[in-house]
Amino acid sequence: MKKIIKGFTLIELLVVVAIMGAFGMIAYPNITKWIEDREVKKEVYEVVSFIKERKAEVDSGEYGMTIVLLNTMMEVYTMKPNFFTETYKSISANNTYKNTNSCMWNQSGMTRRTDLERTDLRMGPYYPDSNVHVFPSAWNSPFRTAICLTKDGTIRFKKYANATDKDPGTGETVDVFVFCPKKSSTENTCKLNSNIDKRYKITLDTFQNIKIYKYAQKTNKWTKIDG
């Protein structure tokens, strides 16, 4: 007797295709959101690493102070150790920056350091390789968050000039920098208090300790994930 080999019928194949299509329709949005979230998170951690690299240079004594402007371009300014001592530590020094423990990128002794800046770490609408919009930026007020990196953490940027938030654990006012997915935000809508899902923010306290938070639209809450 000949052995009869039975294959799939057309109806059976159509059922399989329909099931696979339904599975794909369910899974695809979740996979897309997961990829989008990973892209944003990657840029967040790159910025954190960049700040820590600049802080390590100050701690090693290479610079007396470094200012990083957290905006779309991540600008860097440095001050030599001897100039920092003359400005902030010398008994005979009498200036606004020493008296207020503050800094400005355009103060005497600060030098723009484009050689320390990363062209691959630029964010916002004019940089297609970036997957995020950021706050602060030129489209919002304030237009940047500036951090003054020193060994002892006693120097802060001009009071009330930065974007700030409250640390939920300590109640301290901290500097903040927000990242929003480009696919679900614009340069104008990316803000600290918007309702855009998958946002991240980094906060920096007086001593430049960094914490990373993630926002969930469903719960309307920020959750600390690092720091």
Domain contains 4: no
pLDDT of residue 207: 87
- pLDDT confidence tier of residue 25, bands split at 50, 70 and 90: low
Q: Is residue 60 part of a domain?
A: yes
Query: Which pLDDT score, from 0 to 100, does residue 189 have?
Result: 95
When comparing pLDDT for 139 and 14, which is higher? Answer: 139
pLDDT (0 to 100) of residue 160: 62
Residue 33 lies in a domain: yes
What is the average pLDDT across 184-202? 94
Domain with 18 in it? 12-226
Cβ proximity of 72 and 123 under 8 Å: yes
What pLDDT does residue 196 have?
94
Tell me how far apart the terminal alpha carbons of the chain are, to the nearest angstrom. Answer: 74
CA-to-CA distance for 142 and 177, rounded, in angstroms? Answer: 11
Q: Is 129 part of a structural domain of the chain? A: yes
Q: Is residue 75 part of a domain?
A: yes
Residue 6 inside a domain? The answer is no
Pairing of the two strands 156-157 and 102-103: parallel
HSE-CB of 67 using CA atoms within 13 angstroms: 23
Residue 209 binned pLDDT confidence (cut-offs 50, 70, 90): very high
Contact 99, 142 (CB under 8 A): no
Q: How many domains does the chain divide into?
A: 1
In a domain, 204, yes or no: yes
Q: Percent of the chain, pLDDT > 90?
A: 69
More confident residue, 21 or 211: 211
